[in-house]
Amino acid sequence: MINLIYPISLENLNKLKNAEKILYTGKVIFVTPEALERLSSYYTLEGIPLFNFLGEFVTYGTFNWAHNEIKNINISKISNYFDFLFSSGTNTLIVDKLTSKDLHQLQHYNRPILKTVSKTIKCEQAKVLFYKDLKNGGIIECWLKNQPLEVLNFKDIEKVENKNNA
């Protein structure tokens, strides 16, 4: 098992091999489609980003404030914003399951994707950064400790396509 500690450069992330297991300690940015729509609109109107995703790990699901965890992790809901996220500097996405459409779309960015080993992501600390008025929290900074993840690297695409639940 490889221990990764935030921050992690894209160069180091790209060195990870398909199916490697890691323990990640650090920050994850939780986003909702509504929050991404607002950020994208702001950028279009103002020409500058309101939030910088540079070097961040991003995910989407259901944020459970009672248990301080992210569950129902499904990045398909934010697939319309992959271009926006990666062009804004996102290093990778944390996923649970990927559809074949998501796999095909993510292959274009040629970045490793991190798959959850457990069905939830447990946050040590969490705070809303933007859009507290949105249901499910908008944009939330979530700090993790030793979160088990598996690497899905598109350099070895045959193995990714045959991956169960990938």
- Please tell me the distance from the alpha carbon of residue 149 to that of residue 61, in angstroms, as a whole number: 16
In 3D space, the residue among 89, 95, 82 whose CA is nearest the CA of residue 160 turns out to be 95
Confidence of residue 53 (pLDDT cuts 50, 70, 90): very high
Q: Tell me the pLDDT tens digit for each residue of 78-96.
A: 999 999 999 999 999 999 9
Q: Tell me the pLDDT tens digit for each residue of 59-79.
A: 999 999 999 999 999 899 999
User: Per CATH, which fold does 2-161 belong to?
Assistant: fumarase (3.20.130)
Query: Angle at CA 69, nearest 5°, toward 55 and 142?
Result: 30
Q: Tell me the pLDDT tens digit for each residue of 113-131.
A: 999 999 899 999 999 999 9
pLDDT at 41 over 70: yes
In 3D space, the residue among 87, 89, 78 whose CA is nearest the CA of residue 56 turns out to be 89
Structure tokens, 83: 């271009």
Q: What value does the mean pLDDT of the chain take?
A: 90
